[in-house]
A and B are shown apart, each in its own frame.
Chain A
Amino acid sequence: MTNAELGLFTAQDRTAFKPGEVLELSVLWALPTKPASLEVRLFWFTRGKGTEDVGVVATETIPAVALAGEAKVQFTLPVAPYSFSGRLISLVWAVELVAEPGSSATRFEFTLSPTGSELVLKT
């Protein structure tokens, strides 16, 4: 998932991971002004009928940022919570690359579960 300035890529464009696996990302950025900070955040969020919940699990800061560049970042994925979808709630895992100031961001969504695919809560 990319935009004109920020990009996050996984090897072989993988989007499904299991708990405990290492998520390796290539981070690309090209910004009009030098950012004060570049952070890569591993988090989950909910969607559905309830108010959104967000949980940031880990953050990596890219140091000494220039206007443009490339870096590699990795996260050891936690055991839980699994990605799931029911009728009322979906839980989605994602990594966001955020440049401050200005809160420019790009997001890469993926699935985290022991089966490799999102758990579906069938009614």
Chain B
Amino acid sequence: MAIGFNSSAKTLGIGGRIIGSLFFGVFFLMGLGFEVMIIRQTAGTFATYNWTPADAIILSSKISPPRDSEHNPVLQVRYAYTFDGMRQESDGIETGSGALETSDVYQLAEHYAVGKNVPCWVNPAKPDEAVLRRKSRATGFIVLFPLIFVAVGGIGIWAMWRRRTPQDDDAAKPISSRDKDSKPGRLIMGAFFGVFLLAGCGVTYVLFVGPVLQIFAARNWTQVPCEIVSSRVKTNSDSDGNTYSVDIVYRYTYHDRTYTSNQYHFMTGSSSGYRGKAEVVNRLPLGSQTTCYIDPANPADAVLERDANGELWFGLIPLVFVAVGAGGLIFTFRKKAGDSGGFIVPKPALATTGGTASRPLASGVADQGPQTLKPSASPKAKMLGVILAALFWNGIVSIFIFSVGAGKWDGFSWFMGLFLIPFILVGLGLIGAVFYQLMALFNPRPRLTVSRGVLLPGDTIDVSWELQGRIDRLQGLQIALEGREEATYRRGTNTSTDKEVFALIQIVDTADPVAMHSGSAKLHVPPGAMHSFKAANNKIVWALKVHGEIPRWPDIKDEYPVEVSPKPIAR
């Protein structure tokens, strides 16, 4: 095998590409096959819209029972009509294959009663072919579905054979070519997760949200007596085995009209567990009388059981796909400002053009108004983080401690016990940290307000503070504006971030109880200050640091990020 570090020979991996092409070819051909089939069916549906309408009279109408538990009952109708002066007969109900649902069978049987006059549509090219119903043209949209498989297969085959451009050595590239913004990559990832999200939302709606909405709506439905006309457990077989559903048809009368329905409850689909369904069917046999609930606004909509049952909660399972899809989308598009080499700089406030600002400042910048600052991490968030870390670490270590301690103490056990000591110490440290954070939760909470949300170099703003809680324990309070560089170094499998404080501007340093409780001071931002800056690996961060000294208790140590904006361009 020639590896040829310096060889100029080029060969292609034909075998792999052929196998890949076969794999995607299957998708492509399947999609194409379905597409042809659906187009034919749809063409048949659309063709009926060009057929000639005629009047028909029903000669016979009967329901044949299902031939087994997997099939539905079948409606057989025969009708007569006149076309071009010739009497014709047909038994076509609608075009296309596909059995009618049980409830449709019974409803249609009532609609197509013997002796009734109904419209039909006759094929002018073949007068003995006619239908009683025409499918909606909206079903034509189903033509689009197999195109997904055609697209996946086609794109996959193209990807097999496309030329991949060789990547150059980064160090030899011009620096401006190293800007790693990969928009096409993000779009592909976004589409991938978008499909997850859409599919998850769709299935969750069908299995959970829809039924829940119906259950709530049905609380106002009218209760009417009904008679069971058919009652069985229907079997649905697929490659994974059998699932079952309750198939009960009932008839009821409302406002002198008779309706038929087979909706047992609002949860859709079938599930394993034959016994429960059989009990229901046994409780509601053929010919029995019971009550159903109907929508008074739409009496054809009815249900036997309008309450939720345990099966409803299975409808939440697709939320996993929603979470994966949403999480993936957030991750993909949030990375833009970080990893792409782009940067975040606060926008300079716009210069006013003619006295519209309420309080123009020296630089002509519009007043952005006072703002209350938020800390970078709340005490509760810190507490939660430490608790999770302690639970995780001590949970794992305790398993080992238990397994060592539960057995008999031999040489190996002693060795393991000694080996576990550092891990136990870390765990104890984490527990200590939990208590430390718990104590810190009772600290006085600072509330910082700045007279303007956006700081500019050379500006003077007011910083106000107020401490709420047990400030009697506070011995000293310092508030300072800190500017620091943060440089992240990524190499190999490790990342580390170094920080360097380049500016520390003291605002408050007091031990006076009144001043510590609340106060206000001026903050002068140095005229030559560098503005805030954030890129993937390098940042300039400005923050107000609050330090409250509390003896024999965790100190207050909070950080409130602020934005220093570049100066607007003078116009």
Q: Indicate with 1 or 0, residue by residue over A79-92, a CB within 8 angstroms of chain B CB atoms.
A: 11110101111010
Q: Which of A27-35, A43-51, A61-69 contacts B (4 or more CB under 8 A)?
A: A43-51
B476 within 8 A of A: no
Are B502 and A121 within 8 A (Cβ)?
yes
Contacts of B498 in A (CB 8 A): 49-50, 88
Q: Which residues on the B side are within 8 Å of A88 (C-beta)?
A: 485-487, 498-500, 538
Q: Which of B179, B502, B530, B531 contacts A54 (CB 8 A)?
A: B179
Closest A residue to B536 by beta carbon equals: A53
Task: Please tell me if the beta carbons of A107 and B343 are within 8 angstroms of each other in the complex.
Answer: no
Residues from chain B with a CB closer than 8 A to the CB of A5 are none
Smallest beta-carbon distance A106→chain B, Å:
9
B169's closest neighbor in chain A, by CB? A103
Within 8 Å by CB of A94, from B175, B485, B503, B533, lies: B175
Tell whether, in the assembled complex, residue B502 and residue A103 are in contact, meaning their CB atoms are under 8 Å apart: no
Q: Is the CB of A80 within 8 A of B485?
A: no
A103, B178: Cα distance in complex, Å: 12
Please indicate the chain B residues that have their CB under 8 angstroms from the CB of A45 in the complex.
175, 178
Q: Which residues in B have their C-beta under 8 angstroms from that of A51?
A: 488-491, 536-538
Chain B interface category by residue count: 35 or more
Q: Are A46 and B535 in contact (CB under 8 A)?
A: yes
Minimum Cβ distance to chain A for residue B571 (Å): 9
B567 touches which one: A53, A89, A114 (CB < 8 A)?
A: A114
Shortest Cβ gap from B422 to chain A (Å) = 31
Q: Which residues of A contact B489 (CB under 8 A)?
A: 49-51
Q: Does A55 lie within 8 Å of B566, measured CB to CB?
A: no
> Are B341 and A50 closer than 8 Å at their CB atoms?
no
Q: Point out the residues of chain B lying under 8 angstroms from A55, CB to CB.
A: 179, 341-343, 535
B538, A98: Cβ atoms under 8 Å?
Answer: no
* B362 → A minimal CB distance (Å): 15
Q: Is A73 interfacial (CB-CB < 8 Å)?
A: no
Residue ID in chain A nearest B501 by CB atoms: A123
Residue pair A87, B535 in contact (C-beta under 8 Å): no
Residues of B within 8 A of A56 (CB): 176, 179
Residues of A within 8 A of B491 (CB): 51
Contact B528 A119 (CB under 8 A): yes
Tell which of B168, B173, B485 has the most Cβ of chain A within 10 Å. B485
Q: 0/1 per residue, A11-29, Cβ < 8 Å to B?
A: 0000000011000000000
* Residue B483 interfacial (CB < 8 Å): yes
With a cutoff of 8 Å between Cβ atoms, the chain A residues found around residue B178 in the complex are 45, 52, 54
Q: A87-B485, A103-B177 are in contact. Are A80 and B500 (CB under 8 A)?
A: no
Report Cα–Cα, A91/B173, bound state, in Å: 19
Nearest opposing residue in chain B for A99, CB measure: B174
Question: Shortest distance in angstroms between A36's beta carbon and chain B's nearest beta carbon?
Answer: 13
Q: A52-B537, A121-B485, A121-B503 are in contact. Are A96 and B569 (CB under 8 A)?
A: no
Separation in Å of the A58 CB from the closest CB of chain B? 11
The CA of A37 and the CA of B537, in the complex, are separated in Å by: 31
Task: Report which A residues bind B (CB closer than 8 A).
Answer: 19-20, 41, 43, 45-46, 48-56, 79-82, 84, 86-89, 91, 94, 96, 98, 103, 105, 107, 114-115, 119, 121-123
Interface residue ranges, B against A (CB under 8 Å): 168, 172-180, 341-343, 345, 348, 483, 485-491, 497-503, 528, 530-531, 533, 535-538, 540, 566-569
- A selection of 12 A-B contacts at a CB cut-off of 8 Å is A43-B175, A46-B535, A48-B487, A51-B488, A54-B176, A81-B533, A82-B531, A88-B487, A91-B538, A103-B168, A105-B174, A105-B176
